[in-house]
Structures are given as structure tokens and as C-alpha cells.
Structure 1
């Protein structure tokens, strides 16, 4: 028996496209009862701001063949048989290897990704036109056990002031979970390692000002009940859920751009879902519409990085899958490190 299949008409820059969707009634979020068809319709509804934030750049697709309660895998290479409106770009990874990665440039490509069982979209911080130099400085405020979204929300304004002192304007989005993502548009003049160092410099400055609430400690045993500034999310090929991307969480939450005024007034990240975000966009528009209008520079943050190096603060650990990096401390958690006699 043939599987259920429908065809969706998706507007785009070259006119309407007909995109086939198999198993449209399959439930992707069991607790919320949201189907694959609803996810595809969500993708069409938010396609304009989604592409403004995530389009024209490498993107990794987190795919769930069954539901968000089941197994998943990441897809980077464009699969065989992808339609011609799904583009690709050659990327170089930290290991030195190169391969093509998916690029989404129009709404039909997003719906195609949904047809391929994509739930979460993970865009790079750089564009397809120049994959080596990020156009965003990204800081992940990650609440640790014993803290939550309200703790990250209390820290974010102080981070905004740090970044302003460095000449950068900060923009906000919920992570779709417990954290907050802070983005600063930057001129694509520095490669990923420089941008990572700029994030570390900002994180260290924030930690100095809020030592009881903020940490840059890579090892979990050293973080305590504080908000972790996850500097390693600034690395090449390390990504976070893009703006307007759904999350694979029971409530079908969405990583949602918000304003600083909304943060101050108090927002509930659980309120932003696949079912509510289209209405929010229709009512208030996209808070990130002008994010890339005035890119800044990271020169001051790199001066702070050098200042800290001169003061004896060195490189911080990289993720375990990365090659050993110059100046990196040993990759062993402090409690397991061998003590000198």
C-alpha cells in the first residue's frame, strides 16, 4: 500500500514550487500532537525571517525519522536526489577535511528539509560566500544545574553592557530551552578562532563583574550553580539552533528572537512554539529584521584577549573532537589530573 502523500504549494523567488510531503499525518511531537504537515506549514509561515537569519549559509540538519521522542542524526552533505533549488557550499572543517554542506536559500528548500524529517536547523555563523569568516559573534548563556532561564535573563543585560563597551550591539533570542543566545553582527574580517577568542574575552570580563553568577569554566565540576558562557559554540562547525528553528523538545518550542524590552518585562520561552510563533510574527514582526544592518568589529575584544594573555590567562580547552590546538591546556578534568609529587 502506498504511503500517504500530499503536495504543498510553496511561494518563492522563482514563483511557486510544488513540494511533495510524505506521511503528513505522522506525529512529530507526541505530547503536543503536532504533525509533519503542521511543521511544513510552520516552515512556510516563518520562511522570510527564517531565511534572513539562517539562509545563504552552511546549515546542519538534525533529522528525526520517527518523532522527537526517537533517535536522530545530523545531516550535512546534500543527499543524492536533492532538488536543484537545494544548494550546497564546500566547507573546510577543523580536521582539515572538506566536503559540501547544505545551503537553504528559499522557502521550498526549508519544506524539502522537513520532508527529509528535519526538526532542528543548525546554521553556521558564516555565509556561503565566505565560509571562513563569521558574520556573527555568538554567545550561549547556558544555565547550569540549580539555575534556569531567569538566571540567564538576569545576566544578559550585563553582557550587553560589556559588548557595548567593546563597540558591539547585542541581539537576543531564546534557545528554545533554558538558555539565551546573544548575537552581535560583525564584519566578516576575522576567522573563527579569532571570533572564539573575542567571545572568551567578553566572557571573562562578564565573569569578573558577576563572579557569583557567571562562569567560563569548561569543566562542569568547576561551574557550580552559575550561568556558563559557552565560548566553544563560537568554533568552526559548532552550531546552535537557528532563529525560528523548532527544538526537539516535548512542547515543540522554537528558538525565538526577542527584544531587550521583552526580556526585561519577563518572557516565558515555553510560550514560543511551532503553533504560536507564526501569530507572534504577524502581530509584532521580526525583532531581528535589522540585525545585519550595522555590523560591528571585534578589535576591542581582541585587545582584551591579548591583555588577558599578557596577564597570564591562557587559551581555554576545545571540544574533545577538535585537534589539539596551540596553547591549549590539557584536556583532562581537574579532579582527574595527576598531581605533582
Structure 2
């Protein structure tokens, strides 16, 4: 379909944009098929120029688009390339390759993980295609009632059980019946893909992702108006090349980013909230980025104002605030984040034409609350919190205070203490509040609170050293009031020091790995550990990674535990070698996830459950259920402010971890 500025693409081809269905048809019975599906053997992949006779590969790394300011193929100097471009809707789902080999179907994620079992009925739809072999590139999504893909709905579907909720939008055909098509022109591959999928019903699980040829600006304008993700443009004659390329480009429909709400203004005309003051962190400091005064209705404005008014005490303005803004803005603690859509940024990085799209949802913690929650921190303990220099801020002028940290640990103590009492601990202390002055405290120190237990042990070098242990609520609160920011624990108890009872697998993402891909990887690791008869528990790391903790019986010493964790990590990495590595070094983990098992050696530690991390806005290393893990978009939002409130209505997903210990499997290294 050639582009024409006088034509309304969505009117002429309303079914080709998202769901394959017109808006008015969404509630109607499915249409009758307009074309019959091809007969087996009727497609001729070998006739495509560039097709090569070959066996299907086990995995193809997906091709990725390069972001550009405008769709190519237009008349502007930057867009007029002299080449034909195909323009497609940019979807909001999980990129996936469908491998169909002699009736067996595998669904491989962008990160190289096999998620066939997680995709509900979708694999069955592929098994019914009239092919012996096929590799199809596309996106998995869930559609809302307007036929538009929504990632939040996809997260919910995967967490609850996908069933028949998923759709696969196919946009490329890379292999068909013994022919490798990656060297064939894209326009030829898509034509063959359209033939393969001919006859699919409008509401079928597998849909063909159609395109517009020529100038993509018209499609982009309409996509922007509808609030869709954007446009992906592909050179019509391009071969398929794994990795990020310039023969595929993408343009987002306006820009959408998350900003910290740093303040607000009020007015009589607005009868309350008038605008939000937006900011973002840069090198640990909060910088002002402008006002947003549209996008919230009266109810939302009332709710926002009520929440923000409670955050004004002790707040400081961010950097770079214009003088006239300083006079009118009510500053708040930088604890809430909003999603804002805007056109572009000014020379001084302020957002233009910003529209509020909603608060960034922290999500809920859905672990059931026990009927009787054991109280370890008494009300009298909370009343005795005392901190030197309570107003000293950590990590910048708008950061939390020492008192904020002490209060956090008091509030989460009932949940955190069961996981650290009796275990040797190491601490991260930040006495000046500056990140560069933070340090790791493993041994007893001068001025240490007397309620903290101290014991002696011989280290790996044969030296006798003193170590620390939290034995009760009094010692725990004393450390929290003493300026401790992080707690790290050994995988054992002080009284049984050489009989560890936990293994930790730290999933550390390398360059180019997104949070979504780390979650994919964690779910894959869970399945591998369960297949070995183990019971894995999961928590956010407080950074970009995920910690998976496995309780074990005390039948092995540290050496054997470390050997077993190494063997298990090697086995897990071998199940998806393009995704995982067990080799240290940043150069080994580009586009991969490092499975760090070295925390399972004697004297090594990992962040304790519910421990804060010494980073901007103090995120917590938060235990979550496996279901909740998949609904988290921004793990940094589980922090010193949000987490105590979330735990008020939730139980501890790790409450039964000590009862879940299993014998380690015997594995050959």
C-alpha cells in the first residue's frame, strides 16, 4: 500500500494496524476467512532470491531497530533515502521467535529463553500451520478492549496463566521447509509470510503484521493520535541481520519517560492542583525538568494533591530551578514518579508539551498476610529510636536522612529480623552521607553498640578474626540507628558456622540487558532449579539484578556447597548459553547475564532480605513471590518509603523458607 498524504490509512485499512479487527467489530462474531490457508507443500521458499538450502538453526538472534527522529522514506532531506521502506506498527509486548520443527514448537524470547510452556495455547496454533519447518519472528501481546496491545495486560496474563489470552503478531519469516530465507529481501519474505498465514481468522492467535510502503509519516501521525507505541520502518530490500542495524529504524509516537515529582503548584482557578514540578536524577543529584499541568482530571488532581501534601516536610528543591518557579512551587520529597508524554526537550533539558499519563505503579505485594503476625519490634522499640545527626542527608541535597533510614528498619523489622537473627552479618556504613565515603564493615569496630554480638572465627588465611551477628531486635535497631545503610548475611548461622543452609544465585545483567530480560531469565532459572528438586525463592537485588536463594539441608560444608553451586550454575547456563555466562569479567557478559555463584563460599555474603542499598532513593532488596516478580516494572520503586506501606497489607513471601530446605543433587562437574 503506497503512502499518500490524501489517504486516511486507518480508514482504508483499519484492520491492519493492531488487532486485525475494526473498532466496531471488537464485540462482534469473528469474520469469515477471506482466503483459504495454503495447502502443505504449496509454498515455494526456494524461489526467493537469496534463499539457501539449510537445516533450521536452533536459535537466531533477533534483528533490532535503531531509534531515529522521523520515519524514513519521506521527502525531507534526512528522510529521502532513495530506497523503498516498509512501515509497521511498533508493538508493546515480548519479542519472540517461533520455531516449528516437524510438529514440535519452541517459543524463544529475545534473550534466548525457551518460554514455550509459559505461552499457554499459543504453541498449539503454530503446530497447526501447514509447514514442516518454519522460524517466524514476531511479538507476543495481549490486546485491550480497543484491540491495542498493553504490556501490563501481558504481564498479568503470564503471571496468572496465559491460556488463550495471547496473540502473536508475525512480521518476518526466516526459515521455511528447509530453506534459510535470511538473505532474501524483506519484501519477499513478508509476501511469503502473508501466504503462509492466509486464512487466519480476525481473532486468531497468530496474526500477520501488515505494513505501509513509502512515506511512513502518515502512519506515524495516526499512530501518535491513537496513543500507540510508534512505528518501525524496514528497508524493503534488506536481508535479515541479527543485532541492532540501520536497515530497521524505530520512531516512538512522541516520547514517554518517567520523571520524579519534585513539587507542585496550586491555583484558585484549578481549585487545587495546577501543575506538577518534574525532575530526574543525574549523577545522583535531582535536576529540575519543567512543569506538567495537563493529563489529570479533577479526581486524579485531588488524589495527587492529597498524597503530595504529606511529602512536603523536610523537602528540598532540585538543582536548576528557575527563580520564578522557586517562588510558586511547593517542594516535596522525591518519592513519587510519574509517566509523562512530551514532544521534545529544550536546550537546557526541560520537557516541552508534557502530559501526565499516570503515576508509575509500584505494584502490589500479594503474599497473603498470616492470621497472626509475629511481632518482633515492639511499640516501645519504635519510641526509643535515637540517631546522631538525624537530619544529615545521604546521596545529595534531596536524599533521605539518617532518621529516615532508622525509621525504615524499625518499620520492616518484623519481616527482616527472621532472616538475619543468628546469622553473621557484614554492614555498609555511610558516615558522611557521601557515596564515595561508604565502606564495608565485616569485623567488630570501635564504638560499636554493645547489643551487637561478636564472635571469633578463623578465616580462609588461617587468621582469627572477630565477626558480627544480630541476635535480637535490640542489636538490630542499634545498628540501624548507628548509620548502617546495608545489611549483608552469610548463608549460615553463627552456631553452625560450617554447615551452610542457603545457596544464592545472583543474576547480574551485562550491558544491553533490560529488566524484562532479567525477569525472563529468573523464571527460566526457577524451572531449572525445580527440576533438580530444589525450592527457589526470589528477591530484587536493589539494583539491576535478581537474587535467587535456595534453602538446603545442612549436610555439606562450605567447600562442597561451593562446588555444588558451581556445578548447578554451569548446568543452568548450558540450558541457554546465549543468555547466561558463569565467567567473571564485564567483557564476558555483554548481552548476557552472569550467574554469580561465588557468594556461596565461606565468609562471603549477599544483601539481606529487605536490606536497603546505598544508592539513589535507597531501593530495597525485596523478597517477592514469583507471581509478583513478573508485574514489577521498576524495582527501584521498592524503596525506603514505599516498602513499609506495602508490607502493611502483605505477608512475607519468604516466611516458610527455612522449612523448604532440600538435599543438594549430586552433579558431575
**How high is the TM-score relative to the length of structure 2?**
0.42
Aligned partner of 1:218 in structure 2 is 584
- How far apart are the structure 1 equivalents of 2:398 and 2:641? 10
Q: What secondary structure sits across from 1:28 in the alignment?
A: coil
Match of 1:239 in 2: 605
CA change 1:234–1:276 in 2 (3 A) is same
Distance 1:115-1:154 versus aligned 2 partners, 3 A rule: same
Q: Do 2:582 and 2:596's aligned partners in 1 also have CA atoms closer than 8 Å?
A: yes
2:389 counterpart of 1:23: yes
Q: 473, 478, 481: which one pairs with 1:107?
A: 473
Q: Are 2:553 and 2:663, in contact at CA under 8 Å, matched by a contact in 1?
A: yes
Q: Residues 50-65 of structure 1 correspond to what in structure 2 (within 5 A)?
A: 50-65=416-431
Whether 2:630 is the aligned partner of 1:264: answer yes
Where 2:427 maps in the other structure, the secondary structure is strand
Q: Indicate whether 1:187 and 2:559 are aligned.
A: no
Name the CA shift for 1:241/1:31 in 2 (closer, same or farther; >3 Å): farther
Between 1:176-185 and 1:219-228, the stretch displaced more is 219-228
1:18 CA drift (Å):
4.1
CA distance in 1, matches of 2:558, 2:485: 26
SS in structure 2 at match of 1:49:
helix
Return the alpha-carbon distance in structure 1 between the equivalents of residues 490 and 471 of structure 2.
Answer: 14
Structure 2 Cα separation of the partners of residues 11 and 204 of structure 1: 40
**Structure-1 residue corresponding to 2:435:** 69
Could you say if the C-alpha distance between residues 251 and 21 of structure 1 is closer, same or farther in structure 2, counting changes exceeding 3 Å?
closer
Q: 1:94 maps to which residue?
A: 460
Q: Please report how far the alpha carbon of residue 198 of structure 1 lies from its aligned counterpart in structure 2 after TM superposition.
A: 1.6
| 587, 596, 599: which one aligns with 1:230 | 596
Q: 1:106 to 1:29 in 2, by over 3 A?
A: farther
Q: Which residue of 1 aligns with 2:507?
A: 141
- Superposed CA offset, 1:97-124 (max 9, x none): 2222111123332232133321111111
Partners of 2:392 and 2:591 lie apart in 1 by: 40
- 1:228 Cα deviation after fit: 0.4
The residue number in structure 2 matching 1:165 is 531
2:614 is aligned, of 227, 248, 256, to 248
Residues 233, 245 of structure 1: alpha-carbon distance in 2 compared, 3 angstrom cutoff: same
Which 5+ residue runs of structure 2 have no aligned equivalent? 1-374
Structure-2 separation of matches of 1:293 and 1:68: 41
Query: C-alpha distance in 2, partners of 1:197/1:68?
Result: 38
Deviations 1:6-30 (CA, angstroms, capped at 9, x unpaired): xxxx9758x7594542111111243
- Are the equivalent residues in 1 in contact too, given 2:425–2:489 (CA < 8 A)? yes
2:485 pairs with 1:119: yes
In our comparison, the structure showing a higher alpha carbon Rg is 2
Say which is worse superposed, 216-225 or 172-181, in terms of deviation.
216-225
Indicate if the aligned counterparts of 2:376 and 2:414 stay in contact, CA closer than 8 A: no
Aligned pair partner of 2:566 in 200, 210, 220: 200
Shift in Å, 1:80: 4.2
Q: CA RMSD, aligned part only? A: 2.1
- State how far apart, in whole Å, the 2-side matches of 1:100 and 1:179 are: 31
Unaligned regions of 5+ residues in structure 1, if any? 1-9, 309-341
Q: Structure 2 vs 1, CA of residues 287 and 31 (structure 1 numbering), >3 Å: closer, same or farther? A: farther
CA distance change for structure 1 residues 151 and 108 in 2, over 3 Å: closer, same or farther? same
Q: Provide the secondary structure at the position in 2 that maps to 1:237.
A: coil
SS at match of 1:95: coil
Contact 1:68–1:248 (CA<8 Å) still a contact in 2? no
Higher relative strand content? 2
Higher relative contact order (CA 8 A, sep 6+): 1
The DSSP-based 3-state class of the residue aligned with 1:292 is helix
8 Å CA contact 2:385, 2:407 repeated in 1: no
Indicate if the aligned counterparts of 1:149 and 1:180 stay in contact, CA closer than 8 A.
no
Q: How many residues align?
A: 293
Q: Provide the TM-score with structure 1 as the length reference.
A: 0.80
Matched residue SS, 2:568: helix
* Inter-partner Cα distance in structure 1 for 2:470 and 2:623: 20
